Amino acid sequence: MIKAKMILDYDYRIGKVDNRLFGSFIEQWGRAIYGGIYEPGHKLSDNEGFRKDVIELVKNLKVPIVRYPGGNMLSGYNWEDGIGPKEMRPRRLELAWREVETNQFGINEFVQWAKKANTEIMMAVNLGTEGPDSARKLIEYCNHKEGTYYSDLRRSHGFEKPHNIRLWCLGNEMDGPWQICQKSAYEYGRIACETAKVMRAVDPDIELVLCGSSNMKMPTFGGWEAEVLEHAYDLVDYLSIHTYYDNFNNDTPAFLAKSIEMDQFICSVAATCDYVKAKNRCEKTIYLSFDEWNVWYDSNKERKKMKPWQIAPPLYQNTYTLEDALVVGTMLITLLRHADRVKIACLAQLINTIAPIMTESGGISWRQTTYYPFMHASLYGRGTVLSPVIDSPAYSIRYDRTLSWWNMEMGMSDTGIREVPYLEAIAVISDNKDELTIFSVNRDQQNAMQFTCELRGFEEYLVTEHIILENENKKASNTAGNPDNVKPHKNGDAISSGNEINATFPKLSWNVIRMARLSSK
């Protein structure tokens, strides 16, 4: 048994959690929409074709906001293809994933679905094949009341009231060579700035997200952020940040440590935003929108295997394991730790494609392992994040950040040893202070952890629940045939005595200790 300690002081707080930290993302991609949230004719679908079983699973996650419609597909998408009578909508070649898009589902269907799923929309405008003109038409269609071509067009489609969408992304991953109409930082900065202007002219109350780098390994990372912000700082509110991790190397200790990279990524992007702020003597702070994050097994083999131009092919239906769920847990803890800077985050994605919720067309739906840590964080992680002091034993891994063969040839490597604490943890106190929740992961593959938490400056709290996600087999997963193979139990032994909480965290486990204030009971 290893031992780890945490101190929580009521006066040491990181900041208030923006509920949008528990957002998600649905792209018109693979079976996310067709056969995912939308399946007319399925016995569980409602009269609009939305699967009610899926809506229930989404509602149970209490997802506050969902990004839509992409993703890579966004950069070739014409939103006007997806409105109006369904029989008139064109079929198009969707170039990002090389599928056929039938456009039977579009913006209005998404608005209807989002209402039923109790969630808001984070809409994105195409800055690949399209630009400011398409964006201004879209926002007029969605947000303008009436009396103009596009607002009246929406009304003629049966939506009398504006959709009133508040949060908008200016394109998607525009630095990526895979992106349809990739741009340089100068090209993107300029078009994003001009698009922001016309969108704000239509609706000044919107919030805008500017594209940061697609990930930290992009050769232009850092410089990209600084340059695009130079162009658009005054017109935007957030900068996007994306990352995916995998365990292709089957190196579990290194995989479980990935959230440390995520932490560094957030710090670097925040520092770059503040560099532009200082340089331009700005008052305003740019916040971060971590609008794509997850574990993703993205293999070229799978890409090549896929026959192009299918409708809703079963792309990237990753089956997640217990260890994937633990990495998702550490990523959630990292996001919470940066709640003062990261205001929006989207688990990418929500249904079928790299998702916590899976469906069979014509069949059942089920929860992947990753569903559970996300659900716990979303349900119990709202309030104010406390700044913990953690004392944990650690293990060492080798890291290698050398980005190119040229750097290696020149002997310029960034490799070394990284210390990884076995305990990753954070705590959140609810707004009314009635509930205090600790989220934690024990990264140790061999040993259980004896955990102690000292509470300072709190009134007395009693443990109400100690939830654990664990499995003897770190590769265990949930499938259509065995949908409840990995699921949390509430048999944890956490106990409070005075101002101390003691618990055992099994090896390789996700733990949620929920406490209630005595005086509130």
Contacts with ligand AHR by CB under 6 A lie at 27, 70-72, 172-173, 292, 348-349
Determine the length of the chain. 521
State in angstroms the smallest separation of the CB of 279 from ligand AHR: 29
Q: Are 318 and 295 in contact (CB under 8 A)?
A: yes
For residue 177, the minimal CB distance to ligand AHR (Å) is 11
Candidates 464, 440, 444; CA nearest to 453 is: 440
Q: Which residues pair with 92 in a beta bridge?
A: 101
**φ/ψ of residue 365, rounded to 5:** -125, 155
Q: How far is the CB of 180 from ligand AHR (least distance, A)?
A: 11
DSSP assignment of 46-99: -TTSBBHHHHHHHHHHT--EEEES-SGGGGG--GGGGSS-GGGPPPEEETTTTE
**Residue 181 φ/ψ region, left for φ over 0, alpha for ψ in the -120 to 50 degree band, beta for the rest:** left
- Would you say 151 or 352 has its CB closer to ligand AHR? 352
CA 453 to chain CA centroid, nearest Å: 29
Report the nearest approach of ligand AHR to the CB of residue 37 (Å): 16
Tokens describing residue 105: 């589902």
Please state the closest distance from residue 86 (CB atom) to ligand AHR, in A. 25
Of these residues, 80, 99, 173, 424, which one is catalytic? 173
180 φ, ψ (degrees, to nearest 5): -65, 120
Please identify, using beta-carbon distances, which residue of 315 and 420 lies nearer to ligand AHR.
315
72 vs 330, beta carbon nearer ligand AHR: 72
Q: Are 309 and 95 in contact (CB under 8 A)?
A: no
Q: Which is nearer to ligand AHR, 298 or 459 (CB)?
A: 298
Q: Where are the beta strands (DSSP E) in 300-414?
A: 310-311, 342-348, 357-359, 365-367, 384-386, 389-391, 394-400
119: its two tokens: 């969630």
CA angle, 298 then 302 then 308, to 5°: 115
Peptide bond into 253 cis (omega under 30): no
**H-helix or E-strand containing 372?**
helix 371-380
> CB of 26: closest distance to ligand AHR in angstroms?
10
Q: How far apart are CA 112 and CA 449, in angstroms?
A: 46
Nearer to ligand AHR, 349 or 378 (CB): 349
Nearest residue (CB) to ligand AHR, 70 versus 506: 70
Task: Round the CA-based radius of gyration of the chain to a whole number and report it.
Answer: 23
Q: Is 261 annotated as catalytic?
A: no
Residue closest to ligand AHR when measured from CB atoms: 71
Contact 207, 221 (CB under 8 A): no
Among residues 99, 140, 292, 435, which one is catalytic? 292
Closer residue to ligand AHR, CB minimum distance, 131 or 212: 212
Which C-beta is closer to ligand AHR: that of 101 or that of 435?
A: 101
Pick 127 or 386: Cβ nearer ligand AHR: 127
Please state, in angstroms and rounded to a whole number, the distance separating the CA atoms of residues 332 and 344: 12
Nearest Cα residue to 503 out of 445, 447, 452, 440 = 452
Nearest to 221 by CA among 27, 404, 417: 404
Helix, strand, or coil here: 243? strand
Query: Which distant-in-sequence residues (6+ apart) come within 8 Å of 44 by Cβ?
Result: 51, 52, 53
Output DSSP code: residue 45. Answer: B
- Taking the complex as a whole, the smallest distance from the CB of residue 27 to ligand AHR amounts, in Å, to 5
Would you call 207 a catalytic residue per the annotation? Answer: no
Residues with active-site annotation: 173, 292
